[in-house]
Amino acid sequence: MSTLSLKGPLWVTARQHRRTLVFAGAGVVLALAVIAGLRLWDAMTPDMHMEDGYAVPADDNRGFGLLRLAMEYVGNGMVLLPALVGAFVAGPLIARELESGTYRLALTQSVTPVRWFRAKLVSAAVAALAVTLALMAIYRIGWDRVSNTYQLHWADRGPYEATGTVLVAYVLLAVAVGALLGQLIRRTVVAMAATGLVTGLVLAVLGALRWDFLPVRTITGPPEVDGPMLMMPEDGLIMDQGLTDSTGARMPGWFCDPEAAPATQCRVDVTVTAEYLDYHPESHFWPTQLIETGIVAALAALTLLVALRVLRRRHPSSPTAD
């Protein structure tokens, strides 16, 4: 088969979904205009000052406030991006053609099922990755300014995905899940809903487990129930905090009555000996990112293999034709 005909299915797929591509491109341009514009507005106003441990803008710095708000929305939107990509692949890209039977037209044009399927997935993956990387670059424009402000900590949902590598892996997983469920369900709306649900579930589960990938660091100090608590190192992510007794057993920080003094007399049957604080330092960001990226990438590869196996069973063709 000639090189020109190999490009045929890719061209057809892009042509079929050109409106979606235009819409995605417009979204990227809009995000760039908003974030870059607010960043410039913020740069022309007075700088921030520290208040109660948080960076607070000057009273007349409305640009910073709007920039921080826009970054929250963009970050939340990027967390949802894999689910949107997966729903599109499962529905309009795969299931709709199977449901309507229009895929048979492509198969009559000297195109094998595997090549038809491959063209769909390559087109979706390239477009989705291009949009994802562009949005991540745009997010970086504002991130240096708003990082570690309220709800924009490096470990928060949104900033964590948008500033690392995991979002790329989740997008690829979404493409693979959409390809599999689109074939299995073959109903556009149902396939879209199921893919969004599965992708969102994986995001939620791994998001809940990611801070268990690496051991926490622990600092301890003398018990000060009615005094200052242990202070976490700057930019750390606190995981747990409380008290320990003479056996080393841990208890919640509210175990003792704040009015009791000294701390070792808060309960007659328990001797409190120390306070503890578990946390992840900011240096755990990239190791955690790489571990999670590897897990998601492995899931994506496995899901894609299953999708290809389903395709070959339902539409067998000779190996030489693929």
| Residue range 239-284, pLDDT digits in tens | 988 888 878 788 776 556 555 444 444 555 667 778 888 999 999 9
Higher pLDDT, 94 or 223: 94
> pLDDT tens across 44-64, in order?
775 655 555 555 555 556 788
**Residue 174: its pLDDT value, please?**
96
Q: How far does the chain reach from its first CA to its final CA, in angstroms?
A: 10
pTM, two decimals, is 0.84
pLDDT mean over 96-107: 71
pLDDT at 266: 58
pLDDT for the residue numbered 5: 40
Q: By the 8 A CB rule, do 142 and 66 touch?
A: no
Nearest to 94 by CA among 127, 119, 111: 119
Work out the pLDDT band at 108, boundaries 50, 70, 90: low
Structure tokens that stand for 271 in this block:
């001797």
Q: How many CA atoms lie within 13 A of 188 on its CB side?
A: 9
Q: Which residue has the tokens 């607010």?
A: 38
Q: How many CB atoms lie within 10 A of CB 247?
A: 8
* pLDDT value at 2 more than 50: no
- Residue 219: Cβ within 10 Å count: 15
b/e for 163-177, b at 16 or more Cβ within 10 A? bbbbbbbbbbbbbbb
* Residue 189 predicted with pLDDT over 80: yes
Which helix (H) or strand (E) segment is 119 a member of?
helix 113-146
25: left (phi over 0), alpha (psi -120 to 50) or beta: alpha
pLDDT at 3: 39
| Nearby residues of 284 by Cβ (< 8 Å), 6 or more positions away | 214, 237
Mean pLDDT of 189-212: 95
Q: Is the pLDDT of residue 109 over 80?
A: no
Q: Using H for helix, E for strand and C for coil, what is the string for 42-57?
A: HHCCCCCEEECCEEEC
Residue 276 sits at the vertex; the CA angle it makes with 271 and 277, to the nearest 5 degrees, is 160
pLDDT > 90? residue 165: yes
Token pair of 251, please?
């208890």
- pLDDT of 56 reads 56
Q: Give yes or no for a contact between 174 and 85, defined as CB atoms under 8 angstroms apart.
A: yes
State pLDDT tens for residues 133-148: 999 999 999 998 888 8
Residue 11 has pLDDT above 70, yes or no: no
Q: What is the pLDDT of residue 322?
A: 46
Averaged pLDDT for residues 212-226:
83
Residue 268: burial class (beta carbons within 10 Å; 0-12, 13-18, 19+):
exposed
Write the pLDDT tens digit of every residue in 116-126.
788 888 889 99
**Residue 231 vs residue 278, higher pLDDT:** 278
Length of the chain: 322
